[in-house]
Amino acid sequence: MIPSIAPTAAPRKTALAKFSGHRLLTSPGGLAGTVWLAALVLASLTAPLWLPYKTEDQDFTAVLSGPSVVHWLGTDELGRDLLSRIFSSAAETLGTSLITAVVGVGLGTILAMAAAASFRAEGIISRITEIMMSLPGTVIMLAVIGAVGINIPLIMAILGVLISSGIYRVMLGQAKSLQSQLYVDAAKVDGVGPLGIGLRHVLPGLANTIVVQSALIFAVGMLIQAGLAFIGFGPPLPKPSWGGMIQSASQHVYDAPWLMVPTGAVLALTVLSANAIGNALGKAPNATASHLPSAAIRRKRAADAAASAAAAPAGDNLPAAGQLSVRGLSVGVDGGTPLVTDVTFDVAPGTVLGLVGESGCGKTMTALSLLGLLPSGVSVSAGQILWNGKNLASATEKDLEGIRGRDIALISQEPMRALDPMFTVGYQLTAAVRRLGRAGKAEARAEALSLLEKVGIVDARRILRSYPHQISGGMAQRVAIALALSGKPRLLVADEPTTALDVTVQAEILSLLRSLVKDTGMSVVMVTHDLGVVADICDNVAVMYAGQVVESGRTASILDNPRHPYTLALLAADPHANTAHDMPERLATIKGQVPQPKDWPAGCRFAARCQFAGSACTIPVPLLPSGSEDGEVRCVKADELAVEGLEWVATDVPTHRVLEIVEKDMA
């Protein structure tokens, strides 16, 4: 099965590309740490060429002296130059500490990958690492010193072996998660062996953790090595070491306190530099970052909101209370590629708007922007999201906190994302009611019970006592809807809430949403790619393609009389639009794929896949009145298509035949 090869190559390349020098250069701490370590290593390796004294040279006229022109950092109790001794011993200290990092992280990673690949191996390796973690590391290192003498590289390697058990624990969970990915299953089907899967699929996913842990263990190795030298188990005299120099300085802390400063400061700066590099490399973009925007973005949004308010004419018409009005919304990567452009729609109270389109058309990005929950690094770049007199596109995080859950709530595609497996349904639902409604404990529990009954759960008391893993997918989706309703919102954003459900449960959830709209008067923005769902529940529909709305209007008008070729193609490919008596042997398909944002053309974005594209489609096409009530369409040939082809739809010609008829007539 060749298709699984392509998707695995790209993630591997992306994972390795994360460890370029970009993150070190953009992080002040990481850049400073890198410069310091590089300077330290370079100075140590070239020490014989530039240091004014040898490490054993003694100046009895300047014993325990402070900084001077002759000795820049002073001298020790034997008159030896501190600068020369510190930098001469730096390379060996850093090199032996690196042994600990390489052995510890390398062995821990190998064990974790082996354990993740085999359940039996996991049991054996876990027991061994548990024994290793119970061993007193200091006692073992001292025993090795007693047996073989002071061999710093060997001691640091043994320290790495002992630390590897802790690294194994850190890596195991992540490695098992990577082993459960679908692309790993595809690789197994392709015949890739365990070693190939580990090297090609699991190891790249662990790269970020490996780099971070290596930097931290490197710092720990320096401290352990300095500690051993401090108690007399460092390099043999008169060879200098940082720990030995600190031990000598501790004997003169009263009569020569400066002696402790140079070596202690260099050791501290080196440890801090290693930690700073680890922190900088650990900040993988969009990996574990919060979905909330950064402080800088929030400040920019607040400034934009103030500027927009100052520049807006006093007579501007604002939407009525409870009505959502999106005007010219554009979303993009900060300072880079646009993801959604010029999206405009309205959602009146008590109505349902459907956002329809293939995957990658910008539906979810549009929906998340309504709540200010765009991923890190993505933000609203233009336009307005007007709700109750506020522009949510430029609202501060504090303002959005008062709106999320209370005015606007979200139902995610996967209900388990909204439910924590560590707590019961009752605890989570009660906590949400208390947080959003500021109710007492007893009142909140009664409200939670009422919410579960409202969403159609018969045995609500039992469900309150259950954990998320103890209920079915359909039941979990009902609980997620109850959570969304806990703040009594006036607008519900539903991101494909029925995609993962079977047909029967899907019908029940849609029926539930219809009754909630009717009973509470709230409005809904329904993100979906299923035109059957649109026909079932939506009052209005906005068809999106490649980040744009290409057609919008009343649902009945769009489904019965589509004016855009993309809408027409979606209907032709939808089994719901073809009744049993005219179902074709094979449904129509739309050739090609939705273009990536970086590949969007300047003109019509559907032109490359459209059978009716011409020279007029090479320039940008605005939204134009479609001639059907208040609908709009983004196509220069909308009227031509309506006259030439769509008239057959009204005469019971099957929808899947329209494309063939129109194509033939236009030819």
Q: Are residues 277 and 313 in the same domain?
A: no
**What CATH number does residue 256 fall under?**
1.10.3720.10
Long-range contacts of 421-424 (CB under 8 A, 24+ apart): 421/467, 421/468, 421/469, 423/467, 424/464, 424/465, 424/466, 424/467
Residue located via tokens 């009145």:
625
Spell out, as residue ranges, where the chain has pLDDT lower than 50.
Answer: 1-20, 284-294, 305, 309-315, 580-581, 645-659, 661-667
> Does residue 512 lie within any of the structural domains?
no
> Does residue 209 lie within any of the structural domains?
yes
> Does residue 48 lie within any of the structural domains?
no
Q: Are 633 and 551 in contact (CB under 8 A)?
A: yes
- C-alpha span between 171 and 164 (Å, rounded): 10
- C-alpha span between 526 and 574 (Å, rounded): 18
pLDDT value, residue 440: 85
Cα-based distances in Å from 490 to 323, 349, 397, 499, 516: 9, 8, 20, 23, 11
Phi-psi region of 627 (alpha: psi -120 to 50; beta: other; left: phi over 0): left
> Does residue 23 lie within any of the structural domains?
no
> Does residue 582 lie within any of the structural domains?
yes
Token pair in block for residue 104: 């510890």
Q: Are residues 253 and 307 in the same domain?
A: no
- C-alpha span between 399 and 298 (Å, rounded): 11
Q: Are residues 219 and 277 in the same domain?
A: yes
- Type of residue at 25: L
- Does the pTM exceed 0.75? no
Q: Are residues 373 and 243 in the same domain?
A: no
- C-alpha span between 481 and 191 (Å, rounded): 42
CA-atom Rg of the chain in angstroms? 33
pLDDT value, residue 328: 92
Boundary residue ending a domain (282, 303, 320)? 282
Residue 203 bridge partners (DSSP) = none
> Does residue 93 lie within any of the structural domains?
yes
Tell which residue, 93, 227, 112, 94, has the closest CA to residue 167: 112
Residue 119 burial by CB count (10 A; 0-12/13-18/19+): exposed, middle or buried?
A: exposed
- C-alpha span between 582 and 279 (Å, rounded): 62
Q: Are residues 120 and 230 in the same domain?
A: yes
- C-alpha span between 113 and 196 (Å, rounded): 12
> Does residue 489 lie within any of the structural domains?
no
Boundary residue ending a domain (377, 404, 431)? 404
Sorted by sequence, the CB contacts under 8 Å of residue 666 that are 6+ apart come out as 612, 644
Q: Are residues 359 and 327 in the same domain?
A: yes
Residue 625 bridge partners (DSSP) = 632
pLDDT value, residue 527: 93
Q: Are residues 316 and 271 in the same domain?
A: no
DSSP single-letter state for residue 81: B
Phi-psi region of 405 (alpha: psi -120 to 50; beta: other; left: phi over 0): left
- Per-residue pLDDT tens for 266-320? 999 999 999 998 888 776 444 333 444 445 555 565 565 455 544 444 445 567 7
- C-alpha span between 660 and 645 (Å, rounded): 9
Boundary residue ending a domain (342, 373, 404)? 404
In the chain, how many domains are there? 3
Q: Are 536 and 596 in contact (CB under 8 A)?
A: no
- C-alpha span between 374 and 393 (Å, rounded): 11
Cα-based distances in Å from 286 to 176, 291, 376, 409, 641: 21, 9, 6, 23, 43
Maximum CA extent, the chain: 111
Q: What are phi and psi of 540, to 5 degrees?
A: -130, 160
- C-alpha span between 527 and 102 (Å, rounded): 48
Q: Strands across the sheet with 352-356, in order?
A: 408-411, 491-495, 523-528, 352-356, 540-545, 548-554, 632-633, 624-625
Q: Are residues 274 and 317 in the same domain?
A: no
- C-alpha span between 631 and 372 (Å, rounded): 28
Q: Are residues 306 and 266 in the same domain?
A: no
Residue located via tokens 């469900």:
463
Sorted by sequence, the CB contacts under 8 Å of residue 205 that are 6+ apart come out as 11, 15, 174, 175, 178
Tell which residue, 171, 164, 199, 159, has the closest CA to residue 115: 171
pLDDT value, residue 256: 92
- Type of residue at 433: V
Q: Are residues 213 and 263 in the same domain?
A: yes
Cα-based distances in Å from 493 to 363, 367, 373, 503: 11, 7, 12, 21
Residue 646 burial by CB count (10 A; 0-12/13-18/19+): exposed, middle or buried?
A: buried
DSSP single-letter state for residue 294: P
- C-alpha span between 365 and 596 (Å, rounded): 14
Tell which residue, 465, 438, 440, has the closest CA to residue 452: 465
DSSP single-letter state for residue 89: T
Residue 354 bridge partners (DSSP) = 526, 541
- Per-residue pLDDT tens for 25-70? 778 888 899 999 999 999 888 988 888 888 888 988 889 998 998 8
Per DSSP bridges, beta strands 632-633 and 408-411 are unpaired
Q: Are residues 271 and 331 in the same domain?
A: no
Sorted by sequence, the CB contacts under 8 Å of residue 570 that are 6+ apart come out as 356, 357, 531, 543, 590
Per DSSP bridges, beta strands 390-391 and 523-528 are unpaired
> Does residue 528 lie within any of the structural domains?
no
Q: Are residues 383 and 309 in the same domain?
A: yes
* Chain center to CA of 205: 14
**What CATH number does residue 395 fall under?**
3.40.50.300
Sorted by sequence, the CB contacts under 8 Å of residue 155 that are 6+ apart come out as 141, 144, 145, 228, 233
pLDDT value, residue 301: 54
Domain of residue 371: give its range. Answer: 295-404
Per DSSP bridges, beta strands 523-528 and 352-356 are parallel
